[in-house]
């Protein structure tokens, strides 16, 4: 058996970590150790003492179940991850979670585990690098110049998202993306030959990738040769297919599913040490000479120092470009953008024409595009319907790397996960769009965005049965509630152009998670409001209309249904009923307001409450109580004009009025 002591250190730490936790996946780390050693020690540009160095190479472990591989690499390379951290693998509040988590462990670029999404994140990172380089690099000054590397396994290749994003990576010619495929032929169920017979090499070649076939994943020289060739050709992304043995070094379990997702067992751990010729019985022990050979601190500091000198010269030669690049990479907003945007939003307040909120979103983008040079986004093949192209937007050009509009094609999942990678890379204000119904395709990527707490803006148009004739396959019913129930996701369902502008502004200002803008196909009536009411929209809910000093009944609405609530309220007011209409474009934001404000908007003394929304009704019990009334959907939709559907499903101002009267 070939032995490489530097790679064996990864194997030892990985199996010891899994064994101590009695939980985890030792096989992949043991099988990929030789590949990791070549990449992390000899090739990758990174600085353990500054994991956020902006020009570092990015590394993504798409097969996130192999997390002990990454933790071992970080520890050995000199990152702030101690041997005690490794001993706490998979324990409560440790920095070595079961799958790598962004913002938990230094050096972890993204949260991975749901297979295939790490590859998508890597595509987004490579796209971000290419676009920034095209914008800021000058002759002799390659200030944006780094690679993105990803490890993935058979599971990532089987997931449908890998097809979506690999196709786009080839189309976009992301030549500084290098992916290592751990082709060990084993998944949890056993040998994958019974259910995975794709010719993966041909598949990626058809996407426009450079493919290196059948590389011995335990031969350092072969790995290095393929890696050097992959880096040399920057016109195409590269796939290096490495034949490896899962659980390499385990006499009784290597090459089998038994070492995929379970600890090896105490006896087998001892046998691995003997098989590898590892002289030390102490768990988690690595000799000093191996630590010294692994430590990347000095090399990383030199690499960053060299880049710092380059950037200092660039700054003297191109001061405005350098300042802009620094601003973008630091995540700072352009000066005075908010004041300028506020002026535009306020100017919309006097408009009288009905405007669909999807159109109002485009109106907002027309302004934001001029204020944010870092704006980068697009649609999953629905730009004319989502209205996501703005004045001055330019389609991304794979040849030059320039452009700020991305045509994702019909790839909703890939789009969302790629945009997560763009956001993680930094330097952009990213957004993506599709119909709300097809949020379902992107669902897990949205969840990952929320889990990581990264800013991404998801534009979902055609937000209700109001889209009409396309019928129940396209009419979202449960999707809004689904998004609202996702931890750390903020939704906005605006009732007119003004609320749409505020939704965009709030989504941009939010830096600790994603926002979903839920926008109508049909025109929405503009609402009258005071300056005070305008200022309260950003609080998630506010009193939009009121008759009388103390409300007897409160009507709550969002989006296109606010107009129904207003109509019902005016009819009630004519009958001398004291009525209040609360527009609640963002329940999640409202829930975070102080108790006094929430009580002022929804006084607990007023028990008579009616909520109206052309979406799943049961969500609203939290605001109206069990004795309140909800006008909403309790079934799938139908195919018909929107006006007919609202009448058929009883989502009308008359229904709101009758519900209020019943409560009173």
**Cα–Cα distance, 38 to 375 (Å, whole number):** 37
**Cα–Cα distance, 642 to 630 (Å, whole number):** 20
Residue 425 annotated as part of some ligand binding site: no
Helix/strand/coil percent split, the chain, to 5: 45, 15, 40
**Cα–Cα distance, 180 to 32 (Å, whole number):** 10
Contacts of 309 (CB under 8 A, 6+ apart): none
Q: Quick check: helix, strand or coil at residue 283?
A: coil
**Cα–Cα distance, 519 to 385 (Å, whole number):** 11
**E strands of 20-81, at which residues?**
58-61
**Cα–Cα distance, 159 to 338 (Å, whole number):** 41
Find residue 557's DSSP bridge partners: 583, 612
Residue 462 annotated as part of some ligand binding site: yes
**Cα–Cα distance, 536 to 547 (Å, whole number):** 19
Residue 186 annotated as part of some ligand binding site: yes
CA angle, corner 79, sides to 13 and 116, nearest 5?
A: 70
Contacts of 602 (CB under 8 A, 6+ apart): 541, 554, 556, 582, 609, 623
The answer to whether the CB of 378 falls within 8 A of the CB of 430 is no
Residue 184 annotated as part of some ligand binding site: yes
Q: Is 94 exposed, middle or buried (0-12, 13-18, 19+ CB in 10 A)?
A: middle
* 412 classed as catalytic: yes
Residue 470 annotated as part of some ligand binding site: yes
Find residue 621's DSSP bridge partners: none
**Cα–Cα distance, 309 to 522 (Å, whole number):** 55
**Cα–Cα distance, 641 to 429 (Å, whole number):** 36
Alpha-carbon radius of gyration of the chain: 28
The answer to whether the CB of 371 falls within 8 A of the CB of 393 is no
Measured CA distances, 206 to 4, 124, 306, 400, 410 (Å): 35, 20, 38, 22, 18
Residue 358 annotated as part of some ligand binding site: yes
**Cα–Cα distance, 617 to 129 (Å, whole number):** 44
Residue 155 annotated as part of some ligand binding site: yes
Q: Which of 159, 304, 389, 412 is catalytic?
A: 412
How far is C-alpha 335 from the geometric centre of its chain's CA atoms? Answer: 26
Q: Quick check: helix, strand or coil at residue 60?
A: strand
Find residue 477's DSSP bridge partners: none
Which residues have a catalytic role annotated?
Answer: 412
Going by the annotation, the residues of the binding site for thiamine diphosphate are 65, 113-115, 155, 184, 260, 438
Going by the annotation, the residues of the binding site are 25, 65, 113-115, 154-155, 184, 186, 260, 358, 385, 438, 462, 470, 474, 521
Going by the annotation, the residues of the binding site for substrate are 25, 260, 358, 385, 462, 470, 474, 521
Going by the annotation, the residues of the binding site for Mg(2+) are 154, 184, 186
């Amino acid at each position: 058996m070939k032995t490489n002591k530097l790679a064996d250190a990864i194997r030892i730490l990985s199996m010891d970590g899994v064994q101590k936790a009695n939980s985890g996946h030792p096989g992949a780390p043991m099988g990929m150790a030789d590949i990791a050693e070549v990449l992390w020690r000899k090739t990758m540009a990174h600085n353990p003492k500054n994991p956020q160095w902006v020009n570092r190479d990015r590394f993504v472990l798409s097969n996130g179940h192999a997390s002990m591989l990454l933790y071992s690499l970080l520890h050995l390379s000199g990152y702030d991850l101690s041997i005690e951290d490794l001993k706490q693998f998979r324990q409560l509040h440790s920095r070595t979670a079961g799958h790598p988590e962004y913002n938990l462990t230094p050096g972890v670029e993204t949260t991975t585990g749901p297979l295939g999404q790490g590859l998508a994140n890597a595509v987004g990172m490579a796209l971000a690098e290419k676009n920034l380089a095209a914008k800021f690099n000058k002759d002799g000054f390659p200030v944006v110049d780094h690679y993105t590397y990803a490890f993935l396994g058979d599971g990532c290749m089987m997931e449908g998202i890998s097809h979506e994003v690999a196709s786009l990576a080839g189309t976009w010619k992301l030549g500084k993306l290098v992916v290592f495929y751990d082709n060990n032929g084993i998944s949890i169920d056993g040998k994958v030959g019974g259910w995975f017979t794709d010719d993966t090499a041909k598949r990626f070649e058809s996407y426009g990738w450079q493919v290196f076939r059948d590389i011995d994943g335990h031969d350092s020289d072969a790995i290095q040769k393929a890696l050097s060739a992959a880096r040399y050709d920057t016109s195409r992304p590269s796939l290096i297919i490495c034949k490896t043995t899962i659980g390499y070094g385990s006499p009784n379990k290597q090459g089998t599913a038994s070492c995929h997702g379970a600890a090896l067992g105490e006896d087998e751990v001892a046998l691995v040490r003997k098989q590898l010729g590892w002289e030390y019985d102490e768990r988690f022990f690595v000799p000093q000479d191996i630590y010294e050979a692994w430590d990347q601190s000095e090399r990383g500091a030199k690499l960053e120092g060299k880049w710092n000198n380059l950037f200092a010269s660039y700054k003297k030669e191109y001061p405005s470009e350098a300042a802009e690049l620094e601003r973008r990479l630091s995540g700072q907003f352009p000066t005075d953008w908010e004041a300028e945007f506020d002026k535009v939003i306020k100017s919309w307040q006097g408009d009288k024409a009905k405007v669909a909120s999807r159109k109002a979103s485009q109106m907002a983008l027309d302004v934001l595009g001029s204020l944010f040079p870092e704006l980068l986004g697009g649609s999953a093949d629905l730009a004319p319907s989502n209205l996501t192209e703005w004045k001055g937007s330019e389609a991304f050009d794979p040849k030059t790397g320039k452009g700020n509009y991305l045509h994702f094609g019909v790839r909703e999942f890939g789009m969302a996960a790629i945009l997560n990678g763009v956001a993680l890379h930094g330097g952009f204000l990213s957004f993506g769009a599709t119909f709300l119904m097809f949020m379902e395709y992107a669902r897990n990527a949205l969840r990952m965005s929320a889990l990581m707490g990264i800013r991404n803006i998801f534009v979902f148009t055609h937000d209700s049965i109001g889209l009409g004739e396309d019928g129940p396959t396209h009419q979202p019913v449960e999707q809004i509630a689904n998004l609202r129930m996702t931890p750390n996701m903020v939704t906005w369902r605006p009732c007119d152009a003004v609320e749409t502008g505020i939704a965009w502004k709030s989504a941009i200002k939010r830096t600790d998670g994603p926002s979903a803008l839920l926008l109508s196909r049909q025109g929405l009536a503009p609402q009258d409001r005071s300056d005070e009411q305008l200022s309260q929209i950003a609080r998630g809910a506010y009193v939009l209309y009121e008759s009388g000093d103390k409300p007897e009944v409160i009507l709550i609405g969002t989006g296109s249904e606010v107009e129904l609530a207003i109509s019902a309220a005016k009819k009630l007011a004519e009958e001398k009923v004291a009525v209040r209409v609360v527009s609640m474009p963002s329940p999640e934001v409202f829930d975070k307001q102080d108790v006094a404000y929430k009580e002022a908007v929804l006084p607990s003394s007023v028990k008579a409450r009616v909520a109206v929304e052309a979406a799943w009704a049961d969500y609203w019990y939290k605001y109206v109580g069990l004795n309140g009334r909800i006008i909403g959907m309790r079934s799938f939709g139908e195919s018909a004009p929107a006006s007919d559907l609202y009448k058929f499903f009883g989502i009308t101002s008359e229904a709101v009025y009758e519900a209020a009267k019943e409560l009173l």
